[in-house]
Amino acid sequence: MKDLEKIIYILKQRGFVFPSQEIYGGLKGVYEYGPLGVLLKNKIKNLWLKDTVFKRENIFLIESSILGLRKTYEASGHLEHFHDLLIECKSCHQRFRADHLFEGDYGEVNYKEGKALCPLCQGELTEARTFSLMFKTYVGPVEELASEAYLRPETAQGMFYNFKNVLNSMRPKLPFGIAQIGKAFRNEITPKNFLFRMREFEQMELEFFVKPEEASNWFEYWVEERFNFYLKLGFKKENLKKHVYPKEELAHYSDATVDIYYNYPFGFKELEGIANRTDYDLKRHSEYSGEDLRYFDEEKKEKYYPYIIEPSVGLDRLLFAIFVEFYDEDEVDGEKRNVFRFPPFLAPIEVCVLPLLSNRENLVKKAQEVYKYLKENDFICVYDDSGSIGKRYRRQDEIGTPFCLTIDFQTLEDNTLTIRNRDTTEQERIKIEELKDYLKEKLKF
């Protein structure tokens, strides 16, 4: 079992993930990303876009608003269905999500006279009551029902109420998709497990519109496509599994749902969900808005509501899984080493350029020339001349840099340099003029 606390410590120290507003005591359930975290997030987004959107025909990107009208979430069913059961301790005032409490997330629950006791102080608990997960606000200066709005709890609704706009502007034929990446907000009762359950997070979602009679086949297609995406990212197959929801556990809009689970330090939990949402969403938004959101099928000469297949992944949960999957500890030259073994195409820093000695002007000058050359050719690289060469290698290993380029005295003679492999620590010499093609090949997805 990997040491989660140690991983979190390294992520903060090395500029991946910071607690939100830590100097003011922190904001629970919210995290912020440092320089390396942002680079890694952007790489994940680009790989998702490449694999899910850009390599396919008829999938269109949009960016919808974070603020949503009350009417939107009445239509979606969120105001009716999107809540958890809240239980509070009358003594210590700790609040619990009922399902988390009784599933053992806080340890064993004791009972007295048939009533559950607080697992933290053994105090009396309140009865369970519903708690809305929506963040409510008001648009404009007057707080009234007409100006009520919500921070979106998912990105999906923006793709549903923009269905007609995309249909009219891009003129696609079924099947086609609308995709977006963006922030979502849920007022979780008990955010926990680092990046797994947050109040502010980012989603990568696709709404794929299909003919109703083809929905089952497309659902199976997207389950396999999304599972294979994680294998292409380099996840071990044994750390992934599919969870098929029984009919009685399906959401109100779903005809079938499969979750892809990842083996987090606290067990297998949901990483991505793929749902057959049927025609629920377009029907509801048509009903509440008065707009006809049916699709006209030219071949059949009829209008109908398409079914929707929705693959949806939380970007922060995926980032968390990547940290766990690729963190490793080993020993190099008799010293313990912390290392993120990111696949090269995922590494936030792709290359580090190091002069063998930082006090030799000719080596430093040549190293800076190589560094500038790499930057000009769009490699994500850093330059490091601080400390011994061994310490510099270790720093790069700990942030997952796959290749370190060392400029030594032989470089000045024959224009070659050494490339050190992060995983094996082995080095090979290569001519500087061959460097661009070498790295491009190594960094392919």
Domain containing residue 179: CATH number = 3.30.930.10
Instruction: Tell me which H or E stretch contains 313.
Output: strand 307-314
Question: For position 408, which CATH number holds?
Answer: 3.40.50.800
Q: What pLDDT does residue 36 have? A: 98
305 and 391 in a common domain:
no
Q: What is the mean pLDDT of the chain?
A: 95
Label residue 175 exposed, middle or buried (CB < 10 Å: 0-12, 13-18, 19+).
Answer: buried
Q: Is residue 60 part of a domain?
A: yes
**For residue 142, what pLDDT band results from cuts at 50, 70 and 90?**
confident
Label residue 225 exposed, middle or buried (CB < 10 Å: 0-12, 13-18, 19+).
Answer: middle
Domain count, the chain: 3
Q: Is residue 156 part of a domain?
A: yes
Q: What pLDDT does residue 84 have? A: 85
Q: Is residue 343 part of a domain?
A: no
Q: What pLDDT does residue 70 have? A: 94
The residue among 273, 308, 323 that closes a domain is 323
**For residue 2, what pLDDT band results from cuts at 50, 70 and 90?**
confident
Q: What pLDDT does residue 29 have? A: 94
Q: Is residue 329 part of a domain?
A: no
412 and 287 in a common domain:
no
Q: What pLDDT does residue 23 have? A: 96
Domain range for 274: 4-82+152-323
Q: What pLDDT does residue 407 have? A: 96
Predicted TM-score (pTM) of this structure: 0.92
64 and 199 in a common domain:
yes
Q: What pLDDT does residue 410 have? A: 96
**For residue 307, what pLDDT band results from cuts at 50, 70 and 90?**
very high
Q: What pLDDT does residue 146 have? A: 78
| pLDDT reading at 311 higher than 90 | yes
Q: CA end-to-end span of the chain, whole Å? A: 28
Residues of the chain with pLDDT > 90: what percent? 86
Q: Is residue 140 part of a domain?
A: no
CA distances from residue 169 to 164, 178, 298, 310 in whole angstroms, order as listed? 8, 13, 17, 22
**For residue 334, what pLDDT band results from cuts at 50, 70 and 90?**
confident
| pLDDT reading at 81 higher than 80 | yes
For residues 254 and 277, the answer to whether their CB atoms sit within 8 Å is yes
401 and 267 in a common domain:
no
291 and 203 in a common domain:
yes
| pLDDT reading at 100 higher than 90 | no
For residue range 255-294, list pLDDT tens digits in order: 999 999 999 999 999 999 999 999 999 999 999 999 999 9
**For residue 252, what pLDDT band results from cuts at 50, 70 and 90?**
confident
| pLDDT reading at 247 higher than 80 | yes
How confident is the model over 46-65, as a mean pLDDT?
96
Q: What pLDDT does residue 258 have? A: 98
Q: What pLDDT does residue 114 have? A: 84
| pLDDT reading at 431 higher than 80 | yes
Q: Is residue 228 part of a domain?
A: yes
The residue among 323, 339, 366 that closes a domain is 323
171 and 238 in a common domain:
yes
The residue among 72, 98, 132 that closes a domain is 132
Single-letter code of the amino acid located at 179: A
Q: Tell the residue number behind the tokens 């049927």, with chain if given.
A: 278
173 and 293 in a common domain:
yes
Q: What pLDDT does residue 74 have? A: 94
92 and 76 in a common domain:
no
Q: Tell the residue number behind the tokens 């105001």, with chain if given.
A: 79
| pLDDT reading at 1 higher than 80 | no
How confident is the model over 103-113, as a mean pLDDT?
84
Q: Tell the residue number behind the tokens 């659902």, with chain if given.
A: 219
Residues of the chain with pLDDT > 70: what percent? 100
As a whole number of angstroms, the distance between CA 315 and CA 7 comes to 18
For residue range 198-215, list pLDDT tens digits in order: 999 999 999 999 999 999
CA distances from residue 348 to 171, 318, 364, 381 in whole angstroms, order as listed? 38, 15, 24, 9
For residue range 313-330, list pLDDT tens digits in order: 999 999 999 999 999 999
* Token code pair at residue 102: 């009784």
For residue range 363-419, list pLDDT tens digits in order: 999 999 999 999 999 999 999 999 999 999 999 999 999 999 999 999 999 999 999
**For residue 99, what pLDDT band results from cuts at 50, 70 and 90?**
confident
Query: In 10 A of CB 428, how many CB atoms?
Result: 11
As a whole number of angstroms, the distance between CA 79 and CA 184 comes to 16
Q: Is residue 144 part of a domain?
A: no
Q: Is residue 340 part of a domain?
A: no
Using the 8-state DSSP alphabet, how is residue 110 labeled? P
414 and 279 in a common domain:
no
Q: 410: Cβ–Cβ under 8 A, 6 or more apart, which residues?
A: 416, 429
319 and 247 in a common domain:
yes
The 10 Å CB-count burial string (b at 16+, else e) for 318-354 is: bbbbbbbbbbeeeeeeeeeebbbbbbbbbbbbbbbbb
279 and 157 in a common domain:
yes
Q: What pLDDT does residue 228 have? A: 98
As a whole number of angstroms, the distance between CA 187 and CA 147 comes to 20
As a whole number of angstroms, the distance between CA 179 and CA 309 comes to 12
167 and 52 in a common domain:
yes
